[in-house]
Amino acid sequence: MSHSGAPGSGDPGTARCSADGPLDPGRSAVTAVECDSARFVNLAHASDGIQPTSLVLTDSDAEPTPLSPTEVLSMPELQNAVAYFGENTDSVRVRTQSERRAALEEHVDALHERAPTPAFEFGGRSFELSVVVG
């Protein structure tokens, strides 16, 4: 099984991983798949050649800045990334529509501006966030 981009790498290439099985996609996700310690969540249907945008959440050991429920719940991509960030998960890649990129980048940039380190914490887990095309 392959998935577009290795979570956390920012690389839009293809990552090979063993299919550990589909996950319950929940209400807003089109598909959700677990591969090794990574989870891939798709919030958008096929985009006919348009490069989708992805929010990438990766596990972090850095001192985190706590996020409020409002900060997490205000962006569906971040809400899904946190929801799928399980105990044995190192990264979550949430694919969304390309037109969501500006709003997503603005939200992540605003979080980074108020944080003294690149890491955030929610629900007892520390992670870093990035927005990538692909």
Residue type, 44: A
Average pLDDT over residues 31-58: 83
Question: Does pLDDT of 91 surpass 80?
Answer: yes
Contact 108, 130 (CB under 8 A): yes
pTM of the model: 0.78
CA distance 64 to 125: 9
* SS3 state at 123: coil
Q: What percent of the chain has pLDDT over 90?
A: 53
Which has the closest alpha carbon to 56: 82, 34, 35, 37? 82
CA distance 9 to 48: 24
Continuous H helices in 21-90:
69-73, 76-83
Q: What percent of the chain has pLDDT over 70?
A: 76
So what's the pLDDT on residue 26? 53
Whole-angstrom CA distances from 122 to 4, 17, 42, 88, 93 are 26, 27, 21, 16, 17
So what's the pLDDT on residue 17? 53
CA distance 111 to 95: 20
Residue type, 121: E
111, containing H or E segment: helix 101-114
